[in-house]
């Protein structure tokens, strides 16, 4: 099915928006009136530019406050419409969006609205143009799609049809099943937008918080299925008003937008993509650093052993149980210190996982590799983290471990068993994109988004995970662009006995993040502990949480560069990440940073 995007969904000049839409793979665009008015290009030049880029202009929008008004006012509206239709003929598009009126002059008279829309359609037909009538969720008298359709049906004009917008339908809680009562040929256009489920004024919700399908809480696929059952054959078009998208670079946003439509088409049976290959575990986490000594000291204190070295690169493997951390001091080393650069994901079908990623527009990364190195496929996540699809110890597949030669080492003394989860701080304008990426490309399930109070703002977090928790990735973003550099990534290590591991770490010279005494006073009020248990937690800086499934104990190392480690103990099937404790941890990290000048 053809795909389109409204220029209002992207940032930049009209020319930049058109270029981004074309490069991302869209077939067409909706030209938003403000974008045209601000462009130095004449309509004919915009038409030619779109043709050069392989884009059709599917819709011109919007025309506002047209119908159900006094005759004198309607006469002025027809004069305005004639000018717009002349412009559209120059632009080379044949469909105009007319929104239900919000004018204080509009009257609650469906017959009058139908008669005036029919007159508008008469004029449009003279120019070879169709009028698509849309119910705004905040329309003065017409605010639901079925009401708008009744008016269109009453007008009974061949050049007048309905425009359906998923946001306007679903934000009001309307039942989309009724769409199937509309003949497909009378649905002139379909606009799609998702949104987080918020309790707020619908106009503000619409203007600032829309997102691409799959990034919010609406059942967009269900709505599209209803539309398809009518026989609708027009484009699937995105119309997304979002403050973040309109400030982010247009190119990546357009790619994310097109990815959302690919996933949507797969969900409704319009497209067949390579099947998702859900990762089954974390093979490794790779840290890059200009100075290996500080992070190596932390790993050693945690009980990791430096067990192997890459045959051709300055990369060492540190291992404790099934937890593996690569320390890379090569050309990719960060100038701002140690950082988490790559994740190896265990995959039952690495090649299939790579095909899925490429089909969903994930950038495949070139690799510097020697001829004998394992053939590992890697793609870039939205935040730039490299994701490798691995098959550890399976010789016929992507066995990255074969690239490493063992080095003499003492048996590690550790209670660390594996990597429990990884926490990745997203650039502020890529949070929604990251959620869709990890859901669609990797096949992980997204949990509910949570907001965490930080001493200097708000941290938004959302975890993605496989069914049994073998792979857990916590995605987070601050409230402002500056937060990208404030918050560090971290690697959470599972331990059977977090108290024992914490004591061993501290005895080996490791520094645990201290927690304020007030936290433990509150903990004593919230939970009952065995005698001496709370004092032990206070001594080691261990935090505690409990949910319906079990208990959670966790503590943190000091930050090295932009990375720190978390030790976690899950008992009884605890499913969370200690979100209740996050504000305390963030405050403690800010305090430690002030003390060290970091």
Is the confidence at residue 191, as pLDDT, over 80? yes
Interatomic CA distance for residues 103 and 37, integer angstroms: 22
Q: Any known ligand binding at 134?
A: yes
Question: Which residues are CB-neighbours of 359 under 8 A, at least 6 positions away?
Answer: 262, 273, 274
45 labeled part of a ligand binding site: no
Quick one: pLDDT at residue 255? 95
Res 302: pLDDT? 95
Check whether 73 is labelled as a binding-site residue: no
The per-residue pLDDT for range 411-454, each reduced to its tens digit, is 766 799 999 999 998 887 788 899 999 999 999 999 888 888 77
* Angle, helices 71-91/110-126, rounded to nearest 10 degrees: 30
Instruction: Give me the percent of the chain exceeding a pLDDT of 90.
Output: 78
Q: Is 490 annotated as a binding residue?
A: yes
Q: What per-residue confidence (pLDDT) applies to 203?
A: 87
346 is in an annotated binding site: no
**Lowest-pLDDT choice from 100-109, 113-122, 332-341:** 332-341
Rg from Cα positions in the chain: 28
pLDDT at 535: 95
DSSP code of residue 536? H
Nearest to 476 by CA among 466, 468, 467, 488: 488
Question: In this predicted model, what pLDDT tens digit does every residue of 75-97 receive, in sequence order?
Answer: 999 999 999 999 999 999 999 99
Q: How many residues does the chain have?
A: 598
In a 3-state reduction of DSSP, which class is residue 147? helix
Report the Cα 130 to chain-centroid distance in Å.
Answer: 35
Residue 165 assigned to a binding site:
yes
Nearby residues of 173 by Cβ (< 8 Å), 6 or more positions away: none
Distance from C-alpha of 264 to C-alpha of 270, rounded to nearest angstrom: 8
Q: Nearest to residue 557, comparing CAs of 572, 542, 578?
A: 542
pLDDT of residue 406: 92
- Spell out the domains of the chain, with CATH numbers in brackets: 3-267 (3.20.20.150), 281-406 (3.10.180.10)
pLDDT digits (tens, 9 = 90+) for 125-136: 999 999 999 999
- 141 marked as binding residue: no
User: What is the pTM assigned to this prediction?
Assistant: 0.90
Which pLDDT value is given to residue 459? Answer: 81
- The average pLDDT across 493-512 equals 96
d(CA 505, CA 557): 9
What whole-number distance in Å separates Cα of residue 56 and Cα of residue 26?
Answer: 9
Which DSSP string corresponds to 159-220? TEEEEEEHHHHHTTT--GGGGGGS-GGGEEEEEE-B-----S-HHHHHHHH-B-TTSSSS-H
């Amino acid at each position: 099915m053809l795909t389109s995007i409204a220029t209002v969904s992207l940032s930049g000049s009209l020319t930049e928006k058109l270029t981004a839409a074309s490069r991302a793979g869209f077939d067409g665009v909706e030209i938003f009136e403000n974008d045209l008015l601000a462009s130095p290009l004449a309509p004919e030049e915009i038409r030619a530019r779109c043709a050069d880029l392989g884009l059709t202009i599917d819709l011109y929008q919007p025309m506002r406050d047209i119908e159900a008004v006094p005759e004198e006012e309607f006469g002025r509206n027809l004069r305005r419409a004639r000018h717009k239709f002349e412009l559209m003929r120059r632009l080379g598009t044949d469909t105009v969006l007319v929104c239900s009126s919000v004018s204080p002059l509009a009257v609650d008279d469906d017959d009058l609205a139908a008669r005036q829309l029919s007159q508008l359609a008469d004029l449009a037909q003279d120019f070879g143009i169709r009028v698509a009538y849309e119910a705004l969720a905040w329309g003065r008298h017409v605010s639901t799609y079925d009401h708008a359709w009744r008016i269109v049906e009453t007008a009974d004009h061949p050049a007048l049809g309905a425009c359906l917008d998923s946001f306007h339908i679903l934000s009001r809680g309307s039942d989309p099943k009724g769409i199937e009562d509309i003949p497909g040929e009378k649905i002139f256009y379909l606009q799609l937008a998702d949104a987080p489920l918020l309790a707020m004024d619908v106009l503000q919700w619409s203007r600032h918080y829309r997102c691409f399908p799959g990034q919010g809480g609406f059942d967009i696929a269900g709505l599209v299925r209803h539309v398809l059952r009518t026989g609708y054959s027009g484009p699937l078009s995105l119309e997304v008003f979002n403050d973040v998208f309109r400030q982010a670079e247009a190119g990546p946003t357009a790619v994310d937008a097109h990815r959302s439509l690919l996933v949507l088409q797969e969900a409704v049976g319009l497209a067949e993509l390579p099947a998702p290959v859900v990762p089954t575990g974390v093979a490794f986490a790779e840290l890059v650093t200009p100075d290996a000594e500080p992070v190596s000291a932390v790993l050693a204190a945690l009980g990791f052993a430096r067990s192997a070295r890459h045959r051709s690169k300055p990369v060492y493997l540190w291992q404790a149980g099934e937890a593996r951390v690569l320390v890379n001091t090569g050309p990719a080393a960060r100038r701002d210190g140690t950082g988490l650069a790559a994740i190896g994901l265990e995959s039952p079908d690495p090649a299939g996982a790579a095909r899925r990623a490429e089909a969903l527009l994930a950038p495949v990364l070139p690799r510097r590799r020697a001829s004998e190195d394992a053939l590992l496929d890697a793609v870039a996540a939205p935040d730039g983290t490299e994701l490798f699809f691995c098959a550890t110890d399976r010789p016929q597949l992507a066995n990255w471990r074969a690239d490493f030669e063992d080095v003499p080492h003492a048996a590690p003394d550790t209670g660390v068993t594996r990597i429990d989860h990884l926490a990745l701080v997203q650039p502020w304008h890529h949070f929604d994109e990251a959620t869709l990426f990890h859901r669609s490309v990797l096949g992980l399930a997204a949990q509910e988004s949570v907001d965490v109070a930080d001493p200097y703002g708000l941290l938004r977090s959302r975890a993605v995970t496989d069914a049994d928790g073998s792979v857990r990735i916590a995605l987070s973003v601050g409230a402002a662009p500056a937060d990208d550099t404030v918050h560090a990534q971290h690697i959470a290590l599972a331990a059977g006995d977090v108290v024992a591991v914490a004591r061993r770490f501290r005895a080996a010279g490791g520094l645990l993040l201290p927690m304020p005494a007030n936290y433990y006073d509150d903990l004593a009020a919230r939970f009952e502990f065995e005698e001496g248990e709370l004092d032990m937690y206070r001594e080691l800086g261990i935090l505690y949480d409990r949910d319906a499934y079990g208990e959670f104990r966790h503590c943190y190392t000091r930050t090295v560069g932009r990375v720190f480690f978390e030790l976690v103990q899950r008992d009884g099937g605890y499913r969370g990440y200690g979100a209740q404790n996050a504000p305390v941890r963030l405050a403690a990290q800010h305090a430690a940073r002030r003390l060290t000048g970091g």
